[in-house]
């Protein structure tokens, strides 16, 4: 009887069960009466970018790129504190909230206010903001809709809140879309005012200059004053317009070149962070960047053209006759167009000329450099034929009066006035365009958001649903009643007289029943999906089984689950098994799946803690569930595990002392620490050789399941190997290789129809799985493990035959390798595999591994004795590919775990970290020599095979942080310890008192398997 418990006559189990059933029904009734109803309201808006209206208004404008999607940041906009406060105020939510709460919650509020200070208005408002943030949701869906909804204890208030939130969303979006255009208009108007001042000043200056002229010329000068009298700069001064156009082109070109140069610089900078300076990509980017510093021919041509136009402009000002210029300046645009059709040779020097051979010919600005002269139909002399001649070469130009007689100050003042007047006109045009844009945006907004599903006052609550709660309550009552009946009608130890139940058991049953009943009823009443209410019952059943079942069973179930269930990211994220949720719960932190932020640990951690507590509790209580018939764990193995744990702690301290990151320490050490802890758990769980057969069957069964899954995924997920590199996971290589080695070793050590039949039947499935999983490392692991096994086998005729065969086949194999080394033929596919492993230049992946190995060796050389410690990333002496977008911890957890541990732990840290493996392998090899039983010998060889497979995977693919590594190596090493104890390969100095009554008392080496519990015996 467990200490601290007492046995008392219990009530009738049937009565207890009936009482539990009735209690659950009462709980259901109370819940239905007291639980406030929840009402759901949702409104859906169709939000789509409306580009047609702006495009119709301004067809020349390019389509906006990278603009905001209509649903962009909808949740952030609506759920901002300012917005929620506004909603609270507009809907009078403070007073509504008091009325909407259920009477139970109102009673709780009254109790609180009676016992403590009444919350201030601001505090209550803050509370409501938080409540709204939790209950109000805004979802921008991919199909372009925005859903705004809420769950609230009052139907009317829910409707009002959703309406208000929807209105706020539209207002915010409207403000975001219209306000920027209004802001631009305001800026432009300010600039226009400044420009107007500049025009006034320039005009005043011109008047001052005119005042300096002789009185006879003042009238003419005033007549020649440039007057802003047309909307078109071309009509006012075509030469200036051409100049402005050329300058605008130059501006655009320079802006574009600057942007592209910046892009090239950014790309070069990005590549330099990824690659070394000699990398071809970096060199190419450098060349591309340098090319932007070279002069651009197009830009040069534009600059020349502007220079020419400027020269031409000034020349035109001084060469044209005063009368004609005045005539042109005072003329209307129509008159200018009708009466004068001169040409401007844009980009050419020379200015305005008149053909002396044609009387009355009008002046032209023509090429003055290398053009050939010609006379057009109007008798105008034009010099053309320049190499720069083009479509712009002949532009109509109004006649320009010769102003050479004007003083320079007057000419300059006139030019300045002209320029500022053009600038003002340009700004006024932009203001007009912006006003049109603002009108268009306002008009388009009405069509941009359409209410697809309007908010409505709901007619029935979403929770609780009385029928579901009542039916679920009945089912829950029946299940818990049955559980109570079974748990209280079976005493832990059969006795005579009335059935007795320990107090501890009764308390346990009551706690489980009460917890499951309350949580189930609450979930039935509150959960969106009533099926979730099954979870407490299932969890309680699983916990009950874990606590009561022998550890050898629970650990094997855990092992099978961890090997079979898919972890997040398996199958490259392209496929998930139906039970992936369980796999995610076990493999990744629970808070990633469950909405409880505090659950920052994996399900496997929780189960391990529970099983460890069970093991310790049973030992302390003296229960023999796990220890009866169990061989003791060898002290060196247990000691080595603690030494390795200590080494890990020292390396963590070393790393943290040098500025290590604790978060990264958890990434680096969590799984390795669990590996060591699992060795201890399996040592406590496995009794000895008789538990090894179930262990082997579990591992092989898991491998077969995963092999079938790999084939299924490869066949059904129609993706190329590049998109689906692994059908299941990288770590499954260890599972496949270990299982394959186990089957081979069994056939070698215990040859017979059964073992050969198993090998022939199961190995094709495993091979198919390995091929489907597409990992070359698995073949290396099998070959390496079998080579080690081969050297461990005693000399025999078969071994001699194999040796002779290998010697004879060596030349042929060598020829085959040489012939196929550079061949792409399928005949030489095995050679290609070998080459991809050993030849760095075979592919990018192998090359990157070499870079990583080189960096790790250099890091080891920096800290050879104790390493750099955990929590720090290794230094890149040669820059490899940056894979942080795929695996953020890539410099904390390198692919080569062995060299990584050498770099992080140094020689001393590495040796002590792997002390448990050295001891485990030593015990396995020693037990192998100490026994003649073929099944036990094959078990020992399997342990060695698993260790080799683990080490190869650790060398090539991060096995040290793989759960598969934990659940293959830990039971293997525990099995080695138990085998060493059972076969006397390691003598224990003393027995534990609890093992005195064990049915396996012998500690001496056993000459044969006669007195050893058979591995095939079921536990």
Using rule CB under 8 A, residue 915 touches another protein: yes
Q: Judged by CB, which is closer to another protein: 540, or 941?
A: 941
Q: Is 470 in the site for another protein (CB under 8 A)?
A: no
Handedness of CA 906, 909, 912, 913 (dihedral sign): negative
277: three-class secondary structure by DSSP: coil
Q: Is 910 in the site for another protein (CB under 8 A)?
A: yes
Least separation in angstroms between residue 501's CB and another protein is 48
Binding of residue 907 to another protein (CB under 8 A): yes
Our CA angle for 382, 388, 394, nearest 5°, is 40
Pick one of 289, 922, 963, 967: the residue that binds another protein (CB under 8 A): 922
Our CB check for another protein shows the closer of 246 and 786 to be 786
Q: Name 616's Cβ contacts closer than 8 Å, sequence gap at least 6.
A: none
Backbone torsions φ then ψ of 825, nearest 5 degrees? -70, 150
CA of residue 699 relative to chain centroid, distance: 32
| Tokens matching residue 267 | 């790309």
Q: Encoding tokens for residue 565?
A: 């269930």
Of residues 110 and 929, the one with the C-beta less far from another protein = 929
Least distance (Å) between residue 924 CB and another protein: 8
Q: Which residues contact 706 (CB under 8 A, 6 or more apart)?
A: 563, 564, 728, 732, 735, 736, 769
Q: Which of 483, 914, 916, 963 binds another protein (CB under 8 A)?
A: 914
| Residue 986 binds another protein, judged by CB under 8 A | yes
- Shortest reach from residue 547's CB to another protein, in Å: 37
Here the tokens at position 201 are 């000043």
**709 is a site residue for another protein (CB under 8 A):** no
Least distance (Å) from another protein to the CB of residue 898? 5
If one asks whether residue 911 binds another protein (CB under 8 A), the answer comes out as yes
Minimum CB separation from another protein for residue 61, in Å? Answer: 60
Choose among 55, 75, 41: nearest CA to 153: 41
> From CA 388, how far away is CA 365, in angstroms rounded?
15
Binding segment for another protein among 134-142, 265-273, 435-443, 912-920 (CB under 8 A)? 912-920
User: Taking the complex as a whole, how short is the minimal distance between the CB of residue 838 and another protein, in angstroms?
Assistant: 6
CA distance 176 to 778: 57
Nearest one of 449, 410, 441, 383 to 322, comparing CA atoms? 410
Task: Specify the 3-state DSSP secondary structure of 45.
Answer: strand
- What is the crossing angle of helices 915-930 and 635-657, to 10°? 160
CB closer to another protein, 140 vs 949: 949
Shorter beta-carbon distance to another protein: residue 669 or 948: 948
Q: d(Cα 563, Cα 546) in Å, to the nearest integer?
A: 18
Report angle CA 481, 484, 485 to the nearest 5 degrees: 85
User: What is the distance between the alpha carbons of residues 270 and 877, in angstroms, rounded to a whole number?
Assistant: 18
Residues 206-265 within binding reach of another protein (CB under 8 A): none
At residue 742, the 3 state secondary structure works out as helix
Based on its alpha-carbon atoms, the radius of gyration of the chain, rounded to whole angstroms, reads 44
Q: Which of 73, 9, 1019 is nearest to 557 (CA)?
A: 1019
Instruction: Quote the DSSP letter at residue 8.
Output: E
**Site for another protein contains 938 (CB under 8 A):** no
| Interface with another protein (CB under 8 A), residue from 25, 86, 589, 918 | 918
The answer to whether residue 983 forms part of the interface with another protein (CB under 8 A) is no
Q: Does 164 bind another protein (CB under 8 A)?
A: no
Indicate whether 943 belongs to the interface with another protein (CB under 8 A).
no
Site mask for another protein (CB under 8 A), range 560-589, x = bound: ------------------------------
Enumerate residues 6+ apart whose C-beta is below 8 A from 591: 597, 598, 599, 600
Minimum CB distance to another protein smaller for 680 or for 959: 959
Q: Lay out the site mask for another protein across 838-857 (x = CB under 8 A, - = otherwise).
A: x--------------xx--x
- CB within 8 A of 339, min separation 6: which ones? 331
Residue selected from 136, 235, 683, 899 as contacting another protein according to rule CB under 8 A: 899
Nearer to another protein, 349 or 926 (CB): 926
Closest to another protein by CB, 812 vs 838, is 838
Closest distance between another protein and the C-beta of residue 865, in Å? 9
Q: Which residues contact 933 (CB under 8 A, 6 or more apart)?
A: 1008, 1009, 1012
537 three-state secondary structure: helix
- Of 164, 898, 973, 982, the residue at the interface with another protein (CB under 8 A) is 898
Q: Of 619-627, 648-656, 710-718, 945-953, which segment contacts another protein by CB under 8 A? A: 945-953
How many helices and strands, by DSSP H and E, does the chain display? 35, 12
Touching another protein, residues 810-839 (CB under 8 A): 838
DSSP 621-651: HT--TTTTTPPPPPHHHHHHHHHHHHHHHHH
Rank residues 863 and 998 by Cβ distance to another protein and give the closer one.
863
Which tokens is 407 given?
Answer: 């003083």
Q: With beta carbons less than 8 A apart as the criterion, state whether 728 and 709 touch.
A: yes
Contacts with another protein, 772-791, as mask; x by CB under 8 A: ------------x---x--x
Asked if residue 463 lies in contact with residue 155, where contact means CB atoms within 8 angstroms, the answer is no
777, 902, 961, 966: which one contacts another protein (CB under 8 A)? 902
Q: Are 671 and 966 in contact (CB under 8 A)?
A: yes
Selected binder of another protein within 71, 636, 688, 1013 (CB under 8 A): 636
Q: What is the smallest separation between the CB atom of 640 and another protein, expressed in angstroms?
A: 9
Minimum CB separation of residue 919 from another protein in Å reads 7
Does the footprint of another protein cover residue 133 (CB under 8 A)? no
Tell me how far, at minimum, the Cβ of 545 lies from another protein, in Å: 38
Find the shortest distance in angstroms from Cβ 780 to another protein: 10
Q: 517 with 23: CB under 8 angstroms?
A: yes
The binding track of 64-93 with respect to another protein, each residue x by CB under 8 A or -, is: ------------------------------
Q: Which of 45, 164, 713, 925 binds another protein (CB under 8 A)?
A: 925
Give contact residues for another protein (rule: CB under 8 A). Answer: 636, 784, 788, 791-792, 838, 853-854, 857, 860-861, 864, 898-899, 902, 907, 910-911, 914-915, 917-919, 921-922, 925-926, 928-929, 944, 947-948, 951-952, 955, 985-987
């Amino acid at each position: 009887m467990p200490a601290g418990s007492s046995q008392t006559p219990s009530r009738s189990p049937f009565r207890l069960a009936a009482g539990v059933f009735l209690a659950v029904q009462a709980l259901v009734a109370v819940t239905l009466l007291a639980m406030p109803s929840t009402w759901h309201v949702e409104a859906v808006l169709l939000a789509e970018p409306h580009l047609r209206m702006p495009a119709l208004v301004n067809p020349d404008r390019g389509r906006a790129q990278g603009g905001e999607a209509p649903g962009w940041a909808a949740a952030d906009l609506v759920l901002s504190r300012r917005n929620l406060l506004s909603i609270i105020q507009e809907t009078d939510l403070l007073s509504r909230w008091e009325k909407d709460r259920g009477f139970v919650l109102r009673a709780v509020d009254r109790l609180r206010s009676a016992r403590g200070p009444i919350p201030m208005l601001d505090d209550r408002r803050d509370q409501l903001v938080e409540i709204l943030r939790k209950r109000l949701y805004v979802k921008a869906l991919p199909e372009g809709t925005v859903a705004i909804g809420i769950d609230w204890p009052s139907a009317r208030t829910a409707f009002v809140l959703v309406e208000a939130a929807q209105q706020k969303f539209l207002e915010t979006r409207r403000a975001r879309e219209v306000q920027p255009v209004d802001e631009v208009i305001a800026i432009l108007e300010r600039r226009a005012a400044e420009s107007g001042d500049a025009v006034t000043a320039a005009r005043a200056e011109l008047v001052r200059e005119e005042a300096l002229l002789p009185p006879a010329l003042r009238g003419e000068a005033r007549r020649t004053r440039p007057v802003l009298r047309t909307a078109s700069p071309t009509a006012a001064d075509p030469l200036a317009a051409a100049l402005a156009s050329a300058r605008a082109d130059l501006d655009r070109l320079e802006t574009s070149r600057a942007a592209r140069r910046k892009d090239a610089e950014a790309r070069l900078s990005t590549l330099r962070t990824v690659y070394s300076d000699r990398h071809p990509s970096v060199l190419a980017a450098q060349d591309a960047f340098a090319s932007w510093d070279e002069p651009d021919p197009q830009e040069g041509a534009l600059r020349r053209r502007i220079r020419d136009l400027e020269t031409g402009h000034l020349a035109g000002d001084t060469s044209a006759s005063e009368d004609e210029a005045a005539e042109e300046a005072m003329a209307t645009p129509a008159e200018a167009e009708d009466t004068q059709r001169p040409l401007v040779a844009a980009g050419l020097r020379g200015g305005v000329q008149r053909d002396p051979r044609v009387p009355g010919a009008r002046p032209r600005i023509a090429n003055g450099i290398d053009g050939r002269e010609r006379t057009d139909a109007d008798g105008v002399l034009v010099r053309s034929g320049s190499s720069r001649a083009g479509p712009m070469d002949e532009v109509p130009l109004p006649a320009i009066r010769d102003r050479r007689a004007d003083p320079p100050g007057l000419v300059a003042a006139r030019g300045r006035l002209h320029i500022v007047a053009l600038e003002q006109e340009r700004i006024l045009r932009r203001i007009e365009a912006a006003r049109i844009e603002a009108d268009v945006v306002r008009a388009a907004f009405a069509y941009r958001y359409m209410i697809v599903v309007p908010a409505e006052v709901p007619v029935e609550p979403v929770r609780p649903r009385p029928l579901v709660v009542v039916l679920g309550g009945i089912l829950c009552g029946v299940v818990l009643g049955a559980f109570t009946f079974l748990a209280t009608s079976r005493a832990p130890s059969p006795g005579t007289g009335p059935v007795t139940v320990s107090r501890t058991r009764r308390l346990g049953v009551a706690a489980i029943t009460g917890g499951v009943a309350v949580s189930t009823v609450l979930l039935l009443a509150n959960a969106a999906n009533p099926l979730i209410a099954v979870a407490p019952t299932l969890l309680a059943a699983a916990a009950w089984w874990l606590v009561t079942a022998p550890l050898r069973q629970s650990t094997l179930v855990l092992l099978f689950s961890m090997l079979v269930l898919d972890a997040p990211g398996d199958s490259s994220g392209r496929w998930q098994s139906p039970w992936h949720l369980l796999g995610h719960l076990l493999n990744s932190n629970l808070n990633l799946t469950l909405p409880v932020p505090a659950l920052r640990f994996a399900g496997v951690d929780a189960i391990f803690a529970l099983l460890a507590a069970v093991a310790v509790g049973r030992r302390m209580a003296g229960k023999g569930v796990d220890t009866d018939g169990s061989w003791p764990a060898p002290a060196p193995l247990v000691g080595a595990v603690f030494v390795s744990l200590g080494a890990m702690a020292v390396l963590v301290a070393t790393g943290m002392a040098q500025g290590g990151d604790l978060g990264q320490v958890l990434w680096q050490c969590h799984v390795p620490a669990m590996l060591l802890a699992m060795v201890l758990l399996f040592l406590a769980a496995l009794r000895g050789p008789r538990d090894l057969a179930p262990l082997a069957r579990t591992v092989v069964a898991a491998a077969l399941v995963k092999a079938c899954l790999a084939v299924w995924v490869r066949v059904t997920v129609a993706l190329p190997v590049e998109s689906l590199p692994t059908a299941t996971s990288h770590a499954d290589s260890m599972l496949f290789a270990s299982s394959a080695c186990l089957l081979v070793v069994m056939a070698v050590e215990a040859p017979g129809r059964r073992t050969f039949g198993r090998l022939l039947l199961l190995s094709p499935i495993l091979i198919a799985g390995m091929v489907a999983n597409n990992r070359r490392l698995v073949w290396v692991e099998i070959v390496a493990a079998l080579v080690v096994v081969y050297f461990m086998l005693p000399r025999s005729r078969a071994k001699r035959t194999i040796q002779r065969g290998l010697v004879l086949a060596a030349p042929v194999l060598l020829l085959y390798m040489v012939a196929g080394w550079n061949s792409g033929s399928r005949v030489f596919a095995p050679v290609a595999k070998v080459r991809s492993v050993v030849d760095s230049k075979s592919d990018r992946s192998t090359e990157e591994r070499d870079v990583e190995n080189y960096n790790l060796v250099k890091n080891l050389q920096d800290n050879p004795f104790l390493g750099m410690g955990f929590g720090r990333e290794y230094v890149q002496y040669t820059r490899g590919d940056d894979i942080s977008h795929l695996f953020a911890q890539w410099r904390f957890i390198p692919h080569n775990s062995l060299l990584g541990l050498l770099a992080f732990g140094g020689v001393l840290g590495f040796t002590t970290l792997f002390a448990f493996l050295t001891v485990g392998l030593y015990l396995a090899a020693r037990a192998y020599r100490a026994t003649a039983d073929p099944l036990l010998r094959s078990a020992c060889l399997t342990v060695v095979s698993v260790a080799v497979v683990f080490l190869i995977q650790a060398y090539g693919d991060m096995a040290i942080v793989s759960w598969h590594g934990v659940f293959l190596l830990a039971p293997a090493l525990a099995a080695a310890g138990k085998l060493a104890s059972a076969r006397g390969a390691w003598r224990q100095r003393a027995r534990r008192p609890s093992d005195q009554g064990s049915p396996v008392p012998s500690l001496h080496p056993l000459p044969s398997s006669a007195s050893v519990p058979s591995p095939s015996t079921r536990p």
